[in-house]
Structure 1
């Protein structure tokens, strides 16, 4: 290479490096100090959400890449949202062009009390707003993919009963905030409880894989933006050999049924705001558990004692039915319908409602399949279920015993229940007393 050409190229490279250095210096000269950054972030947060914010520390750095680190952050609330550390890494080239492009956000030890999040309802971005959800002052703009990757570790959700559950995960984003890949898992759960999403190229469909309870719950999820600007999320999933105790135990719950469940699930949620989207969630699962065990409830003993016994367990060859869940302001309601249970000594059918740990339902236990059904009312809680006969069924059972001991008790209880439903009232207390013995012939 000729000396003149080589000298020209070296001079050009030096000029470019010098120019980049000047640009970095100019950007650095406009950055606020750490104290100013902390105060500015707290001010913008309070103006946006109406909740005060304390920032323990803030630190800016431009080399080797732009980074912002916040530490010891807490909202000003009786039960504050707290954050030990968040790191935001930006792209220098885009930053110098006044384009906001975040390479990665890493969140460490975020605590989210449910009651404290009520203050933010309706103030978050709408799902359909995409990049428009974050307005920037001119001449700053957002990159086509404003955030490449979000990671979090030890994000703790505290529900209304004070149960704290920690989660780890990460999301890799495409344009318009569409996740390209996502992973969410319960920290420390054994067996693992993990959700993974993988986007189908160019589609708003995600292959969904859930590992929980030693089994799988796989299928396809779909995101849709509706004409009213609401976001609709739906999914079709297939649970396969999921251990119920392992599933509920991973989320701090106790199971009233032991066994492995398989079936089919549908999921749908639709709302115009992200928080409302979660609260609108409705699921429907047709399930089968083979074999199964009712924990804390001995149906055969409950029948023989007219519903006065408590505790025990009921081994079943099979338990089938449909579970509907519906989110709401005060929690999620679970409704079991079409319940069918079968074992070597009995069959049963019925329905059950579960809300705020309270049980409410009825089960008809057949001692002679299809002929005799003893109606039992289910109450109490999941950890301490109670079984009883309704007033009408109890009166009928007493009459049935006088007429024909044993099977007559069951038939009487069934008739008593039907009479109660027909007239819509409980019989008077005197009717529940045992009749005087019939005179001997």
Structure 2
């Protein structure tokens, strides 16, 4: 339940926009150059701006009937290059004649953004102290109040640190000051639909936010503010409703250890100083979601087995009537840290509670299985990975010779047996065992 896919889209869009507008500036600053000269000037301007070489396989431009610039087969000079099959820039001729840059549409086709390659451009983009423009234009050229009317992209692929490639389609219609009037972003080729839509509210810095994912919705309001001193703040209040967890994570190439439909409430907050770029704003993103899953299933953990055997349990399932808690996420240089707190699971008359931390697919945490509303607690620890989680007794609990003495020292194994029976009932293990067949009586000699 994170918004890392939105973060990746924003980073990718920023890179695309810089590339397209940079190409445009090279074009309008020239005097009727040939296609080859346009490609050479764009490569040179890009290298001077970012310190990274750029190969432009093909370039074509025309002034009439509509000014257009088309670049194809673009690649950065990096060990794992950023590649772009085609970018088309359509300009407004009337504005161009007055040395004003106004782009009707910027269209992107098949852009591939490896994370490690995009990181090379961090901090090299335009900053607010440069006047707020995306590019530094040569005099006497200026940007129109709405420099770009519409940005469209198809098959923009983000490749993350784990080499998972995710493709996105979408479009943005802009108002002045680069404010989206409407926006749509969706995972390409995913069923059920995974899509984000934004609609600006009456010219304010508020957007109606609608997310369709996992067969459910995640709707609310997003806000963008400029704080005193020029700092930026992005915030949102969203309500996930009946989202299938497995469908949600599978839409973004991930796996989960919990199945069920989640509902709840989410808040998002990100801030960046005036000297920071959009990437810095998104890296600061913090989310908090209070959630409820009814019913729920732990798809890769058998808690009953861990309690009854007092050993390490891997695999299996744990059915629950309800799972609730709070999820906090925070971006770091090492990835997104996910902290689950106030976790409570209920099944029948028994409950479990605990906390969990997840970073780079590795899990660590503790839970306690409670009998009779918390009178007795069986302490367990969670470890392993999301793909192969494991649960086991804590060191303190294993100090006892049996489950009974570990839970209530000195009482004996009889209590332990009763604990095991109740836990099996809680987690679906209370199945009638077949009665052993009676052996036939021996015949008398």
TM-score interval, smaller chain = 0.7 to 0.9
Cα separation, 2, equivalents of 1:151 and 1:197: 15
Cα separation, 1, equivalents of 2:416 and 2:296: 30
Cα separation, 2, equivalents of 1:182 and 1:205: 13
- Structure 1: segments with no counterpart, 5+ residues: 1-26, 412-441
For 1:404, the equivalent position in structure 2 comes to 412
For 2:281, the equivalent position in structure 1 comes to 277
Instruction: Give the deviation of 1:129 after TM superposition.
Output: 6.8
Cα separation, 1, equivalents of 2:320 and 2:128: 45
Cα separation, 1, equivalents of 2:109 and 2:164: 20
For 1:16, the equivalent position in structure 2 comes to none
Cα separation, 1, equivalents of 2:81 and 2:30: 35
For 1:206, the equivalent position in structure 2 comes to 207
Change (3 A) 1:247 1:191: same
Cα separation, 1, equivalents of 2:310 and 2:208: 50
For 2:336, the equivalent position in structure 1 comes to 332
For 2:113, the equivalent position in structure 1 comes to 112
Write out aligned runs for 1:147-296 (5 A). 147-271=148-272, 272-296=276-300
Does the CA contact (< 8 Å) of 2:112 and 2:156 recur in 1?
yes
For 2:368, the equivalent position in structure 1 comes to 364
Cα separation, 2, equivalents of 1:311 and 1:103: 55
Cα separation, 1, equivalents of 2:296 and 2:131: 46
For 2:359, the equivalent position in structure 1 comes to 355
Change (3 A) 1:397 1:285: farther
Change (3 A) 1:400 1:335: same
- Structure 2: segments with no counterpart, 5+ residues: 1-27, 420-445
Cα separation, 2, equivalents of 1:29 and 1:120: 26
Cα separation, 2, equivalents of 1:280 and 1:379: 27
Instruction: Give the deviation of 1:410 after TM superposition.
Output: 9.5
Cα separation, 2, equivalents of 1:77 and 1:69: 23
Cα separation, 1, equivalents of 2:176 and 2:359: 40
Cα separation, 2, equivalents of 1:171 and 1:410: 61
Cα separation, 1, equivalents of 2:155 and 2:260: 30
Write out aligned runs for 1:49-198 (5 A). 49-126=50-127, 131-198=132-199
Does the CA contact (< 8 Å) of 2:201 and 2:208 recur in 1?
yes
TM-score, structure 1 length as denominator? 0.84
Cα separation, 2, equivalents of 1:87 and 1:79: 24
Q: Deviations over 1:181-201 (max 9, x none)?
A: 000000011100000000011
Does the CA contact (< 8 Å) of 1:127 and 1:230 recur in 2?
no
Change (3 A) 1:130 1:348: farther
1:80 is paired with a residue whose SS is coil
For 2:320, the equivalent position in structure 1 comes to 316
Cα separation, 2, equivalents of 1:375 and 1:29: 72
Does the CA contact (< 8 Å) of 1:82 and 1:112 recur in 2?
yes
Higher relative contact order (CA 8 A, sep 6+): 2
Q: 2:302 aligns with which of 295, 298, 301?
A: 298
2:230 is paired with a residue whose SS is coil
Instruction: Give the deviation of 1:128 after TM superposition.
Output: 8.6
Does the CA contact (< 8 Å) of 1:397 and 1:408 recur in 2?
no
Does the CA contact (< 8 Å) of 2:29 and 2:138 recur in 1?
no
- Alignment RMSD: 1.9
Q: Deviations over 1:321-369 (max 9, x none)?
A: 0000001111100000000000026310000000011000000011333
Q: 1:341 aligns with which of 338, 345, 349?
A: 345
1:362 is paired with a residue whose SS is strand
1:133 is paired with a residue whose SS is coil
1:312 is paired with a residue whose SS is coil
Cα separation, 1, equivalents of 2:295 and 2:193: 23
Cα separation, 2, equivalents of 1:29 and 1:198: 38
Q: Deviations over 1:100-156 (max 9, x none)?
A: 100000000000000111110111234797753322111111111000000000000
Q: Work out the number of aligned pairs and report it.
A: 385
Cα separation, 1, equivalents of 2:186 and 2:301: 33
Does the CA contact (< 8 Å) of 2:307 and 2:393 recur in 1?
no
Cα separation, 2, equivalents of 1:133 and 1:160: 27
